[in-house]
Each structure stands twice: as structure tokens, then as C-alpha cells.
DNA sequence: GTAGGGTTAG
């Protein structure tokens, strides 16, 4: 009986319903309590709890994992080194402000139960501390490990990348005695996360040409492709489409079916590099689509001048009864702003919290201010700014300043521009837009004084340039 | 006598 329940648990680790059924059987049979029978070995109860905790984490019920742990303690089942890694991961998944409390409590438990020396447990803490920005604590745990294995080093590399230390990440990568696909992927995704897109793509190329310790090639997997595609999508100019297509080709030659992750990354890539046909083809080809996939396609349309189609696709998404999220509304509101659909945008803005339960954040206000400003509705825009539940940040004010420039609204532009310079004294563009507004209205004295203030603040203007890509030759003209 | 790391949309 016991053996078969254990077998079932392990087999259905990923099926919530089955796990819940087995869980209730375990409770009614009393297997989750300490059994006074000496024939009943102690570790078996521990094993049940460990497997249940892991299962609940697996299907996204992180809070139940904690509950199981407290039950485990109250029933005097002894946690061992296998108990903690899933719990530490549950802290990371649950996230939020409560992490220091849970995370450090678990750390204390680990020390108390005498399993701190276990490398798997230590690795899980390296990830957890790094994920919450405590890279110094992560490093301390890592340095306590006598012989960190590949996985531990990978966790540290990823942690350094997550905290903006790509120098440290690459340093560690170069000194590893052996590297696997995750080591490479961690560096590639780190570069992308920190905005070093070219370096990310370069590292991918380096990976494709390198050999591992056994003389074989390192084979990229789905995570590798998704990471490098996201870097490609953000490359400037022709590189984006060129390298993106190369990698897409590689995916097609090596992968059977497009996963949601990979497909979404490709839709985003084609959307950002202006190749709408490419984005559509991937979108249509995908069997399984999630909300983020629709978001990527709607953004692709709205960023490439197809505002009407973006809104139509949003309608289609509604017909499929998919739940739009924050990102969806950023995409559709952008479409409305670019397409000058004031009424449509305002209706969507009203309905997002009322009908869909999505509370507007700064980005949404930015879109609506942009929408109103472009239409010249400055009274409404300032009204919205005043009634925002939080202080407008530079992106929102920047949207308004941009509109003031288009419409030559000097007075408001002056006010907004001054506020912006207070917020971002080192941003050369802010001074220039303000000075251009004055110049456009022949207020040369004001224009000159803004330029002077800029020089005074020690800011140099970065020359703007426009660029036309013809095949692979780039023509650039400096302003 | 089970286990740990990397992934998409603004």
C-alpha cells in the first residue's frame, strides 16, 4: 500500500488533481503523522512530505508548499536536505515583500537541521539571494562552497547577471573548468537583460563555434534560443532582422514544433524589426498561443503603423475569451494614440479596470496623456495628470512635452519642460525640446537661456542622426 | 532513497 502510493505520487508529480487525491489518501491513512510503530521508518514520512512539497511547487501552488512544511514540522517529520531546495524556490516564486522573512527563516532552519553543508541546498540559496538583489549574500553562500559544481557556478553567473554585474559573470564563466548549455545561456540572457544586445548575440555565435570538454559541440536548447532572440529583437538597424532570421532558420532546422516561449520571442523579434509578414507567419503557425503571444502580435501591429489591425486583433482576442493584462492595454492604448482614436482609447482606458480588473499603472497614463496631447486636448491631458493616483514620472511628462512641441503650446510646454528638467537634470533631450519650443515661437531669448542652462549643468548634446538601411549599407546623416 | 540552475509580451 505504502509503496504503491509513493509510486503514484512520483508518477503524477505534474498532475494537480491526482496529487490532491493521493494527498487525501495519505491523510486518511495517517501516513503524514508520526507513526509510533518501530517497523515504520521515519524517513518514509519525510519522503512523502518532500514529494508533496515538490509537486505543489511544480503546479504553481507555492503557498501550499509552505503550509505542508509547517504541517511537516508539527507532525514531527524530520526535514532533510531534499526538503529545502523546493521550499527556497517557492520563496522565489511567491516573491513579494515577504521574502526576507520566509527566506531567512528557511536559512535558519537549514542551519538548525544540520543540512547547510549540502551543495544543492546552498545553490538554492545562491539563486534566492541573487533574485532578490542581495548579490552580496549570494556571493557569501557561494564562497562557502568547497567545490562548486557546474550548476552552482551557473546559479552564481545568473545571479551576477541579474544584478547588473556582467563583468563578474563573464569572469566566472571564463574560469569554469567545464561549461554546459546553461552556463552559456545564463551569460547570453544576462547580456540581454542588461541591454548589451550585441554582446548577447556575439556570445551565442561564440557558443555555436565552441567545443565542450569532451570535444563535442554545445547544443543550444529552447531557453538559449529565446534569450538570443530577445537580444536580436533589440539590436539596432539591420542586425536585428539579419541575425534574427539566421537564428529562426536554425530553430526551423532543429526544432520540431514552435513552443509558446519560442514563438512569442519570434513574433516579438519580427515585430520590432519591422517585418510584419514574419510576425504574422509565426503567429498563425503557432498551435498554442498564450496572452503574451497575442500581446506581442498586437504590439507588432501597433508599432508598425497598423493601428486598426491591432485593435481588430484585440477584439479577436476578446472573442477567444482570453484575459488581457497590463501589457495588452499598453499595446492597444499605444495603437489608439498613434491612430488618433481618442474616443476608443478613452473607452478602453475606462474599461480596463472596470471590466477586466486591470488597474492602470504609469505606462497606461503615459499612453493616454500621449493620446490626448497628440489630439491637442491639453485641458483634458493636464486634468488627467492632476487626478493620477501617483506622481507622474518623466515618461508621462515627456509624452506631454512632445505634444506641446507638435502643437506649439509654449506656455504649458514651458511648465512641463521645467518640471522635467528638475526630474532628469542630465537628460539632454529635455533641454533641447524645451529650447526648440521657444525657438519655434521666436522666443530666442528663452531658447538661448535654456541652452545656457544646459551647458551650465555640464551636459553635452548627443548629435541626433537619421539613418536609412539599404541592404547592408547604412547611410547616416548627422544633424 | 526524490533533488538544484537558465526562457517570452510594454
Written as nine digits, the cell of A164 is 547588473
Whether residue A472 has pLDDT greater than 60: no
CB atoms within 10 A of CB A137: 19
Whole-angstrom Cα distance, residue A22 to residue A7?
11
Listed in sequence order, the DSSP H helices in A132-180 are 135-144, 150-162, 166-175
Q: Which nucleotides of B are covered by protein (CB under 7 A)?
A: 1-10
The rounded radius of gyration (Å) of the Cα atoms in chain A is 27
Q: Which helix (H) or strand (E) holds A298?
A: helix A291-303
Nucleotide nearest to A259 (CA to C1'): B8
CA distances from A73 to A23, A70, A419 (A): 17, 5, 56
Q: Is residue A400 part of a domain?
A: yes
Q: Return the residue matching grid coordinates 492632476.
A: A386
Residue A163 beta carbon within 7 A of nucleic strand B? no
Question: Which residues have a Cβ under 8 Å from the Cβ of A375 and sit 6 or more positions away?
Answer: A340, A342
Residue A150 beta carbon within 7 A of nucleic strand B? yes
Residue-number span of the structural domain to which A452 is assigned: 361-479
Which residue did the predictor score with more confidence, A83 or A472? A83
Whether residue A476 has pLDDT greater than 50: no
- Kindly state the average pLDDT of the residues A388-404: 91
Whole-angstrom Cα distance, residue A428 to residue A438?
16
- Kindly state the average pLDDT of the residues A240-244: 93
Question: Which segment of A97-101, A141-145, A339-343, A365-369 scores lowest on mean pLDDT?
Answer: A97-101
CA distances from A47 to A10, A50, A53, A339 (A): 11, 5, 10, 59
- Kindly state the average pLDDT of the residues A34-49: 72
Residues 285-304 of A with CB under 7 A from strand B: 290-293, 295-296, 299
If one counts the domains in chain A, the total is 1
Q: Return the residue matching grid coordinates 500500500.
A: A1
Residues 69-98 of A with CB under 7 A from strand B: 80-82, 85-86, 89
Residue A334 beta carbon within 7 A of nucleic strand B? yes
Q: How far is CA A344 from the centre of its chain?
A: 29
CA distances from A346 to A258, A350, A355, A377 (A): 36, 6, 14, 12
Predicted local distance difference test score (pLDDT) of residue A471? 44
Query: Which residue has its C-alpha nearest to nucleotide B8's C1'?
Result: A261
- Kindly state the average pLDDT of the residues A356-364: 95
Return the SS3 of A217.
strand
Nucleotide nearest to A83 (CA to C1'): B3
Q: Is residue A440 part of a domain?
A: yes
Predicted local distance difference test score (pLDDT) of residue A457? 73
Return the SS3 of A466.
strand
Q: Is residue A472 part of a domain?
A: yes
- Kindly state the average pLDDT of the residues A211-229: 84
Contact A160, A190 (CB under 8 A): yes
Question: Which residues have a Cβ under 8 Å from the Cβ of A311 and sit 6 or more positions away?
Answer: A332, A335, A336, A339, A341, A344
**Concatenated DSSP letters for A27-68?**
HHTTTTS----TTS-HHHHHHHHHHHHHHHHHTT-HHHHHHH
Residue A228 beta carbon within 7 A of nucleic strand B? no
CB atoms within 10 A of CB A198: 16
Question: Which segment of A129-133, A346-350, A436-440 scores lowest on mean pLDDT?
Answer: A436-440
Question: Which residues have a Cβ under 8 Å from the Cβ of A69 and sit 6 or more positions away?
Answer: A49, A53, A79, A83, A87
Whole-angstrom Cα distance, residue A413 to residue A433?
9
No. of helices (H) and no. of strands (E), chain A: 26, 2
Which residue did the predictor score with more confidence, A424 or A136? A136
- Kindly state the average pLDDT of the residues A146-168: 94
Residue A151 beta carbon within 7 A of nucleic strand B? yes
Q: Is residue A390 part of a domain?
A: yes
Query: Which residue has its C-alpha nearest to nucleotide B1's C1'?
Result: A47
Q: Is residue A398 part of a domain?
A: yes
Whole-angstrom Cα distance, residue A435 to residue A404?
12
Q: What is the pLDDT of residues A95-129, one digit of tens each?
A: 767 777 888 889 999 999 989 989 999 999 999 99
Whole-angstrom Cα distance, residue A155 to residue A128?
10
Nucleotide nearest to A161 (CA to C1'): B6
CA distances from A153 to A125, A157, A193, A211 (A): 13, 6, 19, 19
What is the greatest pairwise CA distance in chain A? 95
Q: What is the pLDDT of residues A2-14, one digit of tens each?
A: 667 677 766 666 6
Residue A136 beta carbon within 7 A of nucleic strand B? no
Q: Which of A366, A375, A441, A443 is nearest to A403 (CA)?
A: A375
Confidence of residue A473 (pLDDT cuts 50, 70, 90): very low
Return the SS3 of A21.
helix
Nucleotide nearest to A326 (CA to C1'): B10
Cα separation of the two ends of chain A: 80
Return the SS3 of A2.
helix
Contact A299, A337 (CB under 8 A): no
Q: How far is CA A93 from the centre of its chain?
A: 13
Question: Which residues have a Cβ under 8 Å from the Cβ of A161 and sit 6 or more positions away?
Answer: A169, A186, A187, A189, A190, A191, A193, A194
Whether residue A406 has pLDDT greater than 50: yes
A211 forms beta bridges with: A217
Q: Is residue A456 part of a domain?
A: yes
Nucleotide nearest to A264 (CA to C1'): B8
Q: Is residue A121 part of a domain?
A: no
Q: What percent of chain A has pLDDT over 90?
A: 56
Q: Is residue A273 part of a domain?
A: no
Whole-angstrom Cα distance, residue A249 to residue A269?
13
Phi, psi of A473 (to 5 degrees): -100, 135
Residue A118 beta carbon within 7 A of nucleic strand B? yes
Nucleotide nearest to A44 (CA to C1'): B1
What CATH code is carried by the domain that includes residue A431?
Answer: 1.25.40.10
Residue A212 beta carbon within 7 A of nucleic strand B? no
Nucleotide nearest to A296 (CA to C1'): B9
Amino acid at each position: 500500500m505504502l509503496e504503491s502510493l509513493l509510486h503514484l505520487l512520483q508518477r503524477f508529480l505534474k498532475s494537480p488533481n491526482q496529487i490532491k487525491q493521493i494527498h487525501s489518501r495519505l491523510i486518511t491513512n495517517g501516513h503524514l503523522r508520526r507513526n509510533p510503530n518501530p517497523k515504520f521508518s521515519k524517513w518514509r514520512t519525510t519522503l512523502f512530505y518532500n514529494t508533496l512539497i515538490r509537486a505543489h511547487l511544480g503546479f504553481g501552488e507555492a503557498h501550499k508548499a509552505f503550509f505542508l512544511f509547517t504541517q511537516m514540522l508539527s507532525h514531527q517529520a524530520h526535514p532533510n536536505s531534499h526538503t529545502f531546495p523546493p521550499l527556497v524556490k517557492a520563496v522565489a516564486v511567491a516573491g513579494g515583500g515577504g521574502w526576507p522573512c520566509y527566506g531567512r527563516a528557511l536559512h535558519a532552519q537549514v542551519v538548525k537541521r544540520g543540512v547547510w553543508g549540502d551543495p544543492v541546498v546552498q545553490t538554492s540559496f545562491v539563486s534566492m539571494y541573487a533574485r532578490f538583489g542581495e548579490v552580496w549574500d549570494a556571493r557569501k553562500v557561494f564562497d562557502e562552497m568547497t567545490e562548486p559544481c557546474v550548476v552552482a557556478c551557473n546559479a552564481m553567473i545568473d545571479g551576477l547577471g541579474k544584478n547588473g554585474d556582467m563583468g563578474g559573470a563573464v569572469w566566472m564563466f571564463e574560469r569554469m573548468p567545464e561549461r554546459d548549455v546553461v552556463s552559456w545561456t545564463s551569460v547570453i540572457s544576462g547580456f540581454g537583460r542588461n541591454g548589451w544586445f550585441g554582446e548577447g548575440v556575439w556570445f551565442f555565435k561564440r557558443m555555436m563555434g565552441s567545443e565542450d570538454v569532451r570535444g563535442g559541440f554545445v547544443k543550444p536548447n529552447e531557453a538559449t534560443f529565446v534569450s538570443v532572440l530577445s537580444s536580436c529583437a533589440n539590436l539596432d538597424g539591420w542586425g536585428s532582422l539579419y541575425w534574427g532570421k539566421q537564428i529562426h532558420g536554425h530553430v526551423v532546422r532543429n526544432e520540431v514544433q514552435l513552443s509558446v516561449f519560442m514563438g512569442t520571442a519570434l513574433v516579438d523579434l519580427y515585430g520590432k524589426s519591422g517585418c510584419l509578414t514574419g510576425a504574422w507567419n509565426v503567429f498563425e503557425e503557432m498551435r498554442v498561443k498564450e496572452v503574451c503571444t497575442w500581446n506581442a502580435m498586437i504590439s507588432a501591429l501597433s508599432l508598425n503603423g497598423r493601428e486598426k489591425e491591432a485593435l481588430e486583433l484585440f477584439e479577436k482576442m476578446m472573442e477567444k475569451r482570453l484575459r488581457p493584462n497590463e501589457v495588452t492595454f499598453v499595446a492597444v492604448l499605444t495603437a489608439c494614440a498613434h491612430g488618433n482614436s481618442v474616443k476608443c482609447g478613452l473607452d478602453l482606458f475606462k474599461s480596463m479596470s472596470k471590466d477586466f480588473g486591470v488597474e492602470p499603472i504609469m505606462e497606461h497614463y503615459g499612453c493616454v496623456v500621449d493620446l490626448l496631447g497628440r489630439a491637442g486636448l491639453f485641458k483634458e491631458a493636464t486634468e488627467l495628470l492632476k487626478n493620477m493616483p501617483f506622481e507622474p514620472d518623466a515618461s508621462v511628462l515627456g509624452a506631454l512635452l512632445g505634444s506641446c512641441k507638435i502643437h506649439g503650446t509654449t506656455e504649458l510646454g514651458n511648465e512641463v519642460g521645467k518640471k522635467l528638467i528638475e526630474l532628469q537634470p542630465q537628460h539632454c533631450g529635455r533641454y533641447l525640446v524645451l529650447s526648440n519650443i521657444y525657438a519655434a515661437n521666436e522666443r530666442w531669448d528663452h531658447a538661448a537661456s535654456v541652452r545656457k542652462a544646459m551647458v551650465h549643468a555640464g551636459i553635452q548634446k548627443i548629435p541626433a542622426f537619421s539613418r536609412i538601411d539599404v541592404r547592408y549599407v547604412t547611410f547616416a546623416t548627422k544633424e
